[in-house]
A and B are shown apart, each in its own frame.
Chain A
Amino acid sequence: MALALKDIENIAHLARLQLSEAEKTEALDSISSILSMIDQMQALDTAGADPLSHGFDASQRLRPDVVTETDQRDTLLKLAPNAAEGLFLVPKVLE
C-alpha cells in the first residue's frame, strides 16, 4: 500500500492540518517508513484472536444520572482565544 502525495494531502485534510509543500514531502517519506514498519503485522496470522482494545477487559462503569459539575462558564471562557458575552467566538460560519 504505497502512499502518494495526494494521500498525504487527504490525511492532512482529515486531520485538519495545513502542511507546506516541504512538510508534505517529508510526511510522505516518514509516514511511508512508519507504515512499512507497521506492515510487519501482516505476516502474522491473527485469525483466531479477538481484538483487545484495553489492557484488561473491564466493562464501562456507570454512575447515577445526577448533576455533579458546577457552573464554570466564566472560568472556562477565560481560557478561550476569543470570547465575548458568554460565548466562544469563531470566524463567521454562515454568510
Chain B
Amino acid sequence: MTHMMNQGVAELAQSLARKDFSSVEVTQAFLDRIQLHNNDLNAFVTITGEQALAQAKTADAMRAAGTAGPWTGVPFAHKDIFCTAGVRTACGSRMLDKFIAPYNATVVEKLNAAGMVMLGKTNMDEFAMGSSNETSWYGPVKNPWDRTLVPGGSSGGSASAVAAHLCPAATATDTGGSIRQPAAFCGLTGIKPTYGRISRWGMIAFASSLDQAGVLTRSAEDAAILLHTMSGFDPKDSTSVDLPVPDYLATLDKPLKGLRIGLPKQHFAEGLNPQVEKLIRDALAEFEKQGAILKEVSLDNSHLSVSAYYVIAPAEASANLSRYDGVRYGHRCDKPVDLEDMYKRSRAEGFGAEVKRRIMVGTYALTAGFYDAYYIKAQKIRRLIKDDFDRAFSEVDVIMGPTSPHTAFALGSKHKQKDPVAMYLEDIYTIAVNLAGLPGMSIPAGLLNGLPVGLQIVGRDFSEGQLLNIAHRFQQATDWHTRTPGVGAGTGLKGDQ
C-alpha cells in the first residue's frame, strides 16, 4: 500500500472506504507532518487541528453509519482567501490579520457538505497580488523542491503544501495565473475553470471580472474530484453560471485520437527558456503518439495581455479594496484624529507595498481624463484577445504551451526590486486566459535541472471535462506528476529520514 501521506484524494477515499485507516488517523498524520515542516516551508498560516480532528471524527462516524459520501473524511487545505466561519481569514494581509470570518464561502460549504476535512489555511500573496508568494504579510513561502526558490504565486502556500505532501490537495484561486504558475513551479496539477463555473461568494475579491477559484492537486483525477465538488450554480454570486456540472470522472479516459492541439506561436517565441521548450515539445509528442494533431495558431494580441491586465486588474482592485476603511472590520490605526486620517493611516498600515501600488495604478487608470486612454483601451484589447482565442478555437480543440517561460526563480530575485514589471511579466502565458474567461490548466511535463516544468492547456468555455481528460491521459502515459521533491525514507520525502 502507498504510504497514506503519498496518497491523493481518490486513493485516500478508497483507503477510507476499505478501512485501511480512519479519517482521524490520516488527519492526525497530516497534522503531524505539517508541524514537522511548516516552520520551514511557511505554507500554512493557520492550522485548524482541533476542528480538523472533530470533522474527521464526524466523518468516521458517518462512514460507520453508512451515510458517508465518496470523499467523506479526506483531508485538504483551503487557500486563506476563502472565508471560513469562526476561523481567521487573512488573505495574506495585515489588514485582515484579526478577521474571523462570520460565514463560510460557498466553496467552503460545498467541501464541508462532502465531508472533507480542512487541515488549515494556506499562505498566499497579499490579496492574491503577486507571482511568488513574497508579498504575504506572513512572509514568503518556500518551494519544497528547493527551499531557496519561490513556489510561485499567488497560491504559493497551497502549492508548497501539496507538493510537500502536507495535504493531498488544496483550494486555490487564479486571477492572472495564480493557480497555473505555482502548479508549474511545484510540479502539480492545477486547474482554473471557466469564469462563473465556481461561486466567488465568500472568496475575497481582488479583480472581480477575472478571479476564479480552482484546485491544486497531484493528479488530474484528484482535480476532477475536487472541481466537481466545488462547481455549480450559486444564487449568491451574480456571475455564477447556471449550467449543470458534468461528471468529470466519467470522461477522464476518453481516447485523444483526432484531438486538435493549437500551439500559439507567441508562446514558443523569444523569452522562453530553450530547455523548457524542449520538454514542452516532448510532452506534445506524447499527445501526437496518442493520435492528437498539432497545429500552429496565432494569438496576435497576446503581447498586450499583460499591459491590458495591469489596467483592468488594478482598476477593479482599487474599487474592491476601497471597502477596507477601518470602520466595519479589518485594521484600524491608533488614535485617528478625524475620519480622513483614520482611512489614510488604517489603509497605509494595513496594506503592503504591492497592494498599495496596484490600488494607486488602478485609481490613476480610473481618474477622469485617463479613463478612456487606459481603462476603455484595455477593455478594447480584452475584446481583441478574446477574439484571438475564438479564432484559434475555430481551428483547434485546445491550446497548449508552456505555463511559464522558466522554472521557479530564487526568493528575493524579483520581489522588492526597483522595477515591479519583471514580476508582472511572469504571467505572460497565463494572463490572456483570465481576460478571456477561459478554463486553463497546468500539468507537470518534465524536470529541468531537478525542477518541475508545467504544460499549460487552455480550452473553450466550460470544457473543464475535456482538459481533465487530456491531462489524465497524459498522466496515464507519463510519470512526471508522480515525482516528488527528493526521495527519502519513511514517506519518501526530503527531510523525513
Among A17, A60, A75, point to the contact of B344 (Cβ < 8 A): A17
A17–B327 CB distance below 8 A: no
Residues from chain A with Cβ under 8 Å of B99 in the complex = 79
Name the B residues within 8 Å of A6 (CB-CB). none
- Given known A52-B386, A56-B196, A90-B327, contact A17–B307 (CB-CB < 8 A): no
Interface size class of A (residues with CB under 8 A): 35 or more
- Give bound CA distance, A79 to B32, whole Å: 32
B476 at interface (Cβ–Cβ under 8 A)? Answer: no
Contact A17 B421 (CB under 8 A): no
Contact between chains at B420 and A18 (CB < 8 Å)? no
Contact check, A15 vs B238: say whether CB atoms are below 8 A apart.
no
Q: Is the CB of A55 within 8 A of B438?
A: yes
- Chain A residues with CB below 8 A from B209, complex form: 53-55
Q: Which residues of A contact B364 (CB under 8 A)?
A: 7, 11, 31, 35
With both chains docked as a complex, state the minimum distance between the C-beta of B460 and any C-beta of chain A, in angstroms.
11
Task: Kindly state the separation between the CA atoms of A93 and B329 in the bound complex, as whole angstroms.
Answer: 19
Q: How large is the interface on B (under 10, 10 to 19, 20 to 34, 35 or more residues)?
A: 35 or more
Q: For B307, list chain A residues within 8 Å (CB).
A: 37-41
Closest to B329 in A: A79
- Give every chain A residue within 8 A of B328 (Cβ-Cβ): 76, 79-80, 88
* B363 to A, closest residue via Cβ: A15
Task: Kindly provide the distance from the CB of B326 to the nearest chain A CB, expressed in whole angstroms.
Answer: 6
Closest to A39 in B: B307
Cβ of B496 within 8 Å of any chain A Cβ, yes or no, is no
Interchain CB contact under 8 A, B419 and A46: no
Q: In chain A between 47 and 75, which residues have their CB closer than 8 angstroms to a CB of chain B?
A: 49-56, 58, 60-61, 63, 72, 75
Distance in angstroms from A10 CB to nearest chain B CB is 8
Kindly list chain A residues whose C-beta atoms are within 8 Å of the C-beta of B380. 46, 49-52
Does A81 count as interface, using CB distance less than 8 angstroms?
Answer: yes
* Distance A91 CA – B332 CA, assembled complex (angstroms): 11
Is the CB–CB distance between B379 and A52 below 8 Å? Answer: yes
Cα of A88 to Cα of B342 in the assembled complex, Å: 14
Q: How far is the CA of A88 from the CA of B380 in the complex (A)?
A: 42
Contacts of B318 in A (CB 8 A): 15
Q: Once the chains bind, are A34 and B310 in contact (CB under 8 Å)?
A: yes
Against A, the Cβ 8 Å flags (1 = close, 0 = not) of B328-369 are 111110001111111111011001010011011101110100
Q: Chain A residues with Cβ under 8 A from B347's Cβ?
A: 15-18
Q: Are A31 and B361 in contact (CB under 8 A)?
A: yes
Residues on A with beta carbons closer than 8 Å to the beta carbon of B195:
54-56
Residue of A nearest to B422 (CB): A33
For B336, the chain A residues whose CB sits under 8 A away are 91
Complex alpha-carbon distance, A11 and B374, angstroms: 15
Q: Is B239 an interface residue (CB 8 A)?
A: yes
| Interface hits, B292-332 → A, CB 8 Å | 301, 303-304, 306-308, 310-311, 318, 322, 325-332
| Contact status A38-B357, CB under 8 Å | no
Report B376 CB to chain A, min CB distance, Å.
5
- Which residue in A12, A37, A53 is a CB contact (below 8 Å) of B421? A37
In the bound complex, residues from chain A placing their C-beta under 8 Å from that of B360 are 8, 11-12, 15, 17, 27, 31
B373 at the interface (CB under 8 A from A): yes
Additional 5 contacts, C-beta under 8 A, given A56-B437, A91-B339: A27-B360, A30-B418, A54-B195, A80-B327, A90-B342
